[in-house]
Amino acid sequence: MQSKNILFKKVILFGSALKGNANEFSDIDVALISNQFSGNTFADWHLLSPIIIKFSRIEPHTFTAQYFEEGDPFIDEIKKTGLEIQL
C-alpha cells in the first residue's frame, strides 16, 4: 500500500470494526507502520491526507517500525487483537 510514496511495513486492522461491534458511526482503526513516519501525528497525517480524504471513516494510527517493535500498552493490544493485512 502506498500513499505519497510511503512504503508501509505493516498494516493492521483493529478495534470495533474487527471485533464486530461497530455501528454506522464507528471509525475503522488501522495501525500503519512505516519508517517514513516521524512519530508526529499531525505530520504523519499530512502524508496520509489522500487516504484520509478518500476514506473518511478510516482512523489511521501511525508508528515508526522501531517504535512499533518496542511497543507500549496500546501497541501491545493492537498486536494481540489486530489482524495484519498482507501487503
Sorted by where each begins, the domain ranges of the chain are 10-85
Give me the torsion for CA of 58, 64, 65, 71, rounded to 10°: -90
Give, in order, the Cα–Cα distances in Å from 31 to each of 1, 12, 83: 13, 5, 10
Residues 14/84, Cβ–Cβ less than 8 Å? no
Residues 49/81, Cβ–Cβ less than 8 Å? no
**Candidates 3.90.580.10, 2.40.30.60, 3.40.50.10190, 3.30.460.10; CATH matching 10-85:** 3.30.460.10
- List, for residues 30-44, the tens digit of each pLDDT value: 999 999 999 898 999
What is the chain's length? 87
- List, for residues 46-79, the tens digit of each pLDDT value: 899 888 889 889 999 999 999 999 999 999 999 9
In 1-87 the beta strands, taken as DSSP E runs, fall at 10-14, 28-33, 58-63, 83-85
pTM: 0.88
Confidence category of residue 2, pLDDT binned at 50, 70, 90? very low
